[in-house]
């Protein structure tokens, strides 16, 4: 999918670029798989802000995406490729042989009318979902499960693709897009191919208003705040902070380890940041 660059006829279009959407084949979602989505503006169930700088944005409808791919042995054909405002990747509508329709993440290169299938006996073709034990070493995969039957949790964003590096015992070693190598059980399912919409990272908003349409509010730096609001705030004139970068609650933000899940430490073969 290509990126369209606008002519700099005004300040808003000077750096503006959009996707051409040439791969999309439908403009409206399949009604039974689209439902209302309430905007929460970064608030929790008590109304307190838990994620800063969220709010507003265009109204969206949530598309129910099948991350589990648990309809085993039933072939399906790609009916449409659609835009999904809730994620960076595009989605494909599958029409199964028994009449059911489901959305999946659209793998790059999966054409309209192509047949896909999931299950142990599925061939290693683009868009098919198989358990790790059936996928050859070296294959590019996405939508990877962490727990058997829970559904894909890793490698789901636009352009994402992991590589199956090795198999040892009951686990496979998968190299994630971040560079981390992680163990995944051989019974976990994954989908063959790379997630579509590869040019998503090359798109520039061009103006602040377009960011507001997406529900992201202005993000002000800590050094521009007052001391009561941020540890780096205050000072005479334009102060640079006078300390290492930190969060509003005083935690360092560059190189500070925040991982606390020791239960799965042994599943990480090689970390994203090498020492």
**pLDDT tens string 78-107:** 999 999 999 999 999 999 999 999 999 999
Whole-number Å distance between alpha carbons of 162 and 160: 7
Q: What is the pLDDT of residue 1?
A: 67
Q: What is the pLDDT of residue 266?
A: 94
**pLDDT tens string 11-58:** 999 999 999 999 999 999 999 999 999 999 999 999 999 999 999 999
Q: What is the pLDDT of residue 274?
A: 67
Q: What is the pLDDT of residue 167?
A: 96
Q: What tokens appear for 236 in the block?
A: 């005479």
Dihedral sign of CA atoms 218, 219, 222, 227 in order: positive
**CATH class of the domain comprising 3-201:** mainly beta
Q: What is the dihedral of CA 109, 110, 113, 114, to 10 degrees?
A: 110
If you average pLDDT over every residue of the chain, what do you get? 95
**What's the order of all strands across the beta sheet hosting 91-96?**
101-105, 91-96, 76-82, 115-116
**pLDDT tens string 251-268:** 999 989 888 999 999 999
Given a cut of 80, whether residue 190 has pLDDT beyond it is yes
Bridge partners, residue 94, by sequence: 78, 102
Please compute the mean of the pLDDT values over residues 194-207 and round it to a whole number.
94
> Quick one: which H or E segment has residue 183?
strand 181-185
Outline where the chain has alpha helix (H). 208-213
Instruction: Count Cα atoms within 13 angstroms, Cβ side, for 73.
Output: 1
Q: Tell me the pTM.
A: 0.92
**pLDDT tens string 109-146:** 999 999 999 999 999 999 999 999 999 999 999 999 99
Eight-state DSSP code of residue 84: -
Query: What ranges do the domains of the chain cover?
Result: 3-201
């Amino acid at each position: 999918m290509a990126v369209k660059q606008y002519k700099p006829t005004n300040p808003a279009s000077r750096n503006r670029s959009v996707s051409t959407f040439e791969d999309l084949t439908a403009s409206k979602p399949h009604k039974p798989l689209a439902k209302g989505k309430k905007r929460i503006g970064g608030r929790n169930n008590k109304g307190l802000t838990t994620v800063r700088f969220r709010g507003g944005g265009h109204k969206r409808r949530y598309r129910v995406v099948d991350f589990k791919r648990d309809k085993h042995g039933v072939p399906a054909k790609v009916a449409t490729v659609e835009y999904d405002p809730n994620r960076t990747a595009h989605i494909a509508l599958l029409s199964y042989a028994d009449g059911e329709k489901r959305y999946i993440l659209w793998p790059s290169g999966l054409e309209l009318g192509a047949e896909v299938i999931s299950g142990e006996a599925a061939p290693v073709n683009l868009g098919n979902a198989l358990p790790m034990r059936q996928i050859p070493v070296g294959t590019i995969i996405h939508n990877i499960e962490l727990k058997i039957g829970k559904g894909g949790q890793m490698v789901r964003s636009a352009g994402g693709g992991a590589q199956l590096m090795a198999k040892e015992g009951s686990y496979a070693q998968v190299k994630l897009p971040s560079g981390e190598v992680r163990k995944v059980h051989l019974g976990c399912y994954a989908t063959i191919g790379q997630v579509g919409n590869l040019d998503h990272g090359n798109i520039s908003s061009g103006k602040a208003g377009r960011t507001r349409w997406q529900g992201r509010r202005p993000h002000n730096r800590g050094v521009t705040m007052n001391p009561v609001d941020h540890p780096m705030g205050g000072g005479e004139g334009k102060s640079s902070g006078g300390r290492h970068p930190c969060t509003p609650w005083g935690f360092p933000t560059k190189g500070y380890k925040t991982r606390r899940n020791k239960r799965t430490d042994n599943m990480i073969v090689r970390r994203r940041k090498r020492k």
